[in-house]
Amino acid sequence: MERGVSTESSSLESLVREIGEAVLATTETVDQLTGHMDALSKQVQQQGYQIFALSDTVQTLAENQDATLERLAQLTDTLQRLVAAIEADPESA
């Protein structure tokens, strides 16, 4: 009977050791995953800042383009009036 208890105790020790090793391995894996998640979170945050900056730049570019188009329309109108004036009085050319 003592031998059976010893074998059972040895089996339990082995099982507890395996469980402990599995827990340690799992803990290490979770720690590594935590590190990777932190790095990924920082990258996503940085990309968010970059997207915001890009959106702001695109908005500024669109506003500048609108102003440029308005100036171009004014210039075109002025040139058309100038051409019309020259064509109306060919001797002044």
Rg (CA), the chain: 39
Say what the pTM is: 0.56
Range of the domain at 42: 2-92
Give percent of the chain with pLDDT exceeding 90.
Answer: 83
Q: What are the tokens at 74?
A: 């004014």
d(CA 79, CA 53): 38
Domain count of the fold of the chain: 1
Token pair, residue 48, equals 């968010």
How high is the mean pLDDT of the chain? 93
Q: What is the pLDDT of residue 39?
A: 98
pLDDT band at 26 (very low <50, low <70, confident <90, very high): very high
Torsions phi, psi for 74 (to 5 deg):
-65, -40
27-56 per-position pLDDT tens digit: 999 999 999 999 999 999 999 999 999 999
Percent of the chain having pLDDT more than 70? 92
83, 87, 92, 93: CA torsion to nearest 10: 70
